[in-house]
Every structure is written in structure tokens, then in C-alpha cells.
Amino acid sequence: MPDLREPYATALGMCIEDLFARYDVVAIVATGTIVRGGGDSRSDIDLHVLHAGTFRERVQLFYNEVPFEIFVNPPGRIKGYFNEDVSARRPIAPHMFATGVIVYDPTHIAAELAIQAKEILAKPPPAVTEAACVALKYSAATEFEDVEDLGDRDATAASILLGSVVRRLIECRVEVEPGWLPRAKDLIDRLRQIDPVCAELAVEATGKVEWSERLDAARKLCVRVIGYDGFFEWKSPREELAV
């Protein structure tokens, strides 16, 4: 069992007891910021439960007033998550297994998965291709155009859409760099690491009071990330279609 402070230690014990009553448990891995010694009052405990059944299930429950997010899977499904995460450049499952605490593992399947997870994390993916990079920029530029189109006739709709556009621009800037992609809540921190100017413009575009100031900051962010402040000429690669 991980060395947890209260109320987490009691909560984890209650949860594990319940899991053995619910499932034919093969292994349990506890992970998340609380398990790693951090977290706050809003944090939950994540548990990967490997069982002998053939179904998968995702459960959210409270134990001792602590929220738990529980992922129930047959052991063979975890490698599929690993492969999917590598393709998406978002190593969610590998990170969980690599940094988690193995609570129960009589057959050592969780230990083997943890080794595989660490090997995956040790090989960050390359940057996207030039064609993919241009496609990302096109998508973000199109969304920014929509904001400007709405600005003069529906300020409320434009303001709502602006937040989405700023996030898309941040994602665009981050995705063209090599390496793993961050979780949504870590996007701005990653942007600060690779492009502090972009990060400051993103803060201004979402934090300023006046609409004109936010739009101006978003326009500067768009130019810095894409090279344009809206529509630009480009041509996608030809894709052969089955006739």
C-alpha cells in the first residue's frame, strides 16, 4: 500500500476491499497526484483494476469522502491503450502505469506493464510532418476568422468562441514541437516552456477586460503561431480515393 496521509489511507483501504467484492481482481495499480505525494482538496485517486473478466468499465465513487476514478479492464486491453496513446502522442495510460504504485499483483502482470510503460515514455515521438503542421495552422486560422466575423454583430458569441480559439492556437503551437503532448490542464505550462511570448499573449487574450484588448492579443497570438491573422493560401496533399 502507498504511504498516504488521512483521509486517503483509509479511503484507499475501503475502496480496495470493495473492489475485491465486485470483481475477480488480477492486479491493482494506484496512481495520480495524491499517490505521488501531491494533490489538493479537488484531487482524486486513480485506480487501474485488472480483472479476469472480459468487460471494461469506468467507475467514479466516493470512499471516506475521497473521490476515486476507477478503470476496470482485462489485462490484455492495457497494451491497446498504450498503442492508442502513442499514436495520439498523449501517454495517459503509460504515465499512469509508469508512475503508479502497484497495490496488488500476484502474477506480476502489472509489474510487466509498468516496465513497458517506462520504455514507452523514454521514447518521445518526433514533431508532426510539415503537411500536418500546415493543416493544424489552417484549422486554427479558420476558427480565428470566425471570431472576427462575429465580433461586430454578436459580441457574446464571439467572446465565448474566443476562449476556444485561444486554446486551439495553444494546441497548434505545442503540437508542432517534438515530444509528448500535455494534458489539457498542463497546456499553458507547456507553452510557457517552449514559447513564453505566446503564453503571455494567451493570458492577455483570455484575461483582459476589454473585448478589443482580448481580440488584439488573440490576433497577435495567431500571427505568432501561424504567421497570419486569418485566411492564408495553402493546398493539402492529394489523397487518392477508392472509386
Tell me how crowded residue 37 is: count the other CB atoms within 10 A of its CB: 10
Q: Is residue 234 part of a domain?
A: no
pLDDT, residue 2, reads 79
The CA dihedral of 107, 53, 86, 172, to the nearest 10 degrees, is -140
Question: What does the pLDDT look like over 115-125, one tens digit per residue?
Answer: 999 999 999 99
- pLDDT at residue 178 is higher than 70: yes
Q: Which amino acid is at 171?
A: E
pLDDT, residue 103, reads 95
Contact present, 70 and 61 (Cβ < 8 Å): yes
Based on the fold, state whether residues 93 and 180 are members of the same structural domain.
no
- pLDDT at residue 109 is higher than 70: yes
Q: Which amino acid is at 43?
A: S
Based on the fold, state whether residues 117 and 134 are members of the same structural domain.
no
The whole-angstrom separation of Cα 53 and Cα 19 is 13
The whole-angstrom separation of Cα 184 and Cα 164 is 12
- pLDDT at residue 96 is higher than 70: yes
Q: What is the mean pLDDT of the chain?
A: 92
pLDDT, residue 39, reads 67
pTM of structure: 0.82
Answer with the one of 121, 156, 181 that is the final residue of a domain: 121
Contact present, 217 and 204 (Cβ < 8 Å): yes
Contact present, 60 and 70 (Cβ < 8 Å): yes
More confident residue, 234 or 120: 120
Question: Strand 57-63 relative to strand 25-31: parallel, antiparallel, unpaired?
Answer: unpaired
Based on the fold, state whether residues 141 and 100 are members of the same structural domain.
no
Residue 39 falls in which region: left (phi positive, over 0), alpha (psi -120 to 50) or beta: left
Answer with the one of 121, 146, 171 that is the final residue of a domain: 121
pLDDT, residue 220, reads 95
Domain containing 166 equals 130-226
- Look at residue 185 and give its three-state secondary structure: helix
The total number of structural domains in the chain stands at 2
